[in-house]
């Protein structure tokens, strides 16, 4: 190989190395084009409009706090051995285990409902279950929400409880 061929090859190689980052790695600045991930490009930025979770972190925290306050309140009612509760919007779903010596579940349930509505004036509907399986599920739902699950994650369970509890 002669000297001129080596220079030409070095020049072409250098030009290629310099041009690759400028051509191959530039972003798409053309609006409304679709990239390979199926996302529409808006000068490199896309709004996330697919989030169906309408409950913000602050709302979730407020409802968890409401649930905690209600659970603590109904746990002090005579005849209640153990209680769990989850509140969402205007509905409280309560799981309760009664003391063995109670004479009337109806009276205890009335006391629970009254205490909830006095404690949280936003609650208009109270669903109470003494079924052990339901009580455990309500407690688990509360724990799941406290550990980071969203309302969207537990919404089906909550709606199911509302419909299943008479």
In this predicted model, what pLDDT tens digit does every residue of 14-63 receive, in sequence order? 777 777 666 655 555 565 556 555 555 555 444 444 444 444 455 567 88
Q: How many residues does the chain have?
A: 166
In the chain, the percentage of residues whose pLDDT exceeds 70 is 74
pTM of the model: 0.61
- Residues 6 or more apart in contact with residue 89 via CB below 8 angstroms: 122
Q: Tokens in use for 132?
A: 């052990």
Domain boundaries, the chain: 3-41, 57-164
Q: Tokens in use for 130?
A: 């003494």
Give the residue, 11 or 129, on which the prediction is more confident.
Answer: 129
* pLDDT over 60 (residue 127): yes
d(CA 121, CA 104): 26
Q: 3 falls in which pLDDT band (50, 70, 90)?
A: confident
- Say how many Å lie between the first and final Cα of the chain, rounded: 93
Q: What is the pLDDT of residue 52?
A: 45
d(CA 63, CA 140): 15
Q: What is the pLDDT of residue 122?
A: 96
Angle made by CA atoms 131, 133, 139, in degrees to the nearest 5? 100
Question: CATH assignment of 57-164, given 3.40.50.880, 3.40.1410.10, 2.60.120.380, 3.30.70.1350?
Answer: 3.30.70.1350
d(CA 32, CA 51): 21
């Amino acid at each position: 190989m002669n000297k001129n061929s080596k220079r030409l090859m070095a020049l072409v190689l250098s030009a290629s190395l310099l041009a690759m980052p400028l051509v191959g790695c530039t972003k798409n600045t053309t609006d409304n084009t679709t990239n390979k991930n199926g996302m529409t490009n808006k000068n490199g930025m896309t709004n996330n409009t697919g989030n169906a979770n309408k409950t913000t972190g602050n709302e979730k925290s407020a409802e968890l706090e409401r649930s905690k306050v209600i659970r603590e309140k109904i746990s002090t009612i005579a005849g209640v051995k153990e209680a769990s509760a989850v509140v969402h919007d205007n509905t409280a779903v309560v799981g309760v285990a009664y003391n063995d010596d109670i004479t009337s579940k109806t009276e205890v349930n009335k006391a629970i409902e009254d205490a909830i509505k006095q404690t949280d004036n936003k609650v208009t509907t109270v669903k109470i279950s003494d079924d052990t399986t339901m009580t455990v599920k309500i407690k688990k739902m509360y724990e799941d929400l406290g550990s980071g699950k969203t309302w969207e994650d537990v919404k089906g369970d909550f709606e199911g409880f509302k419909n299943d509890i008479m």
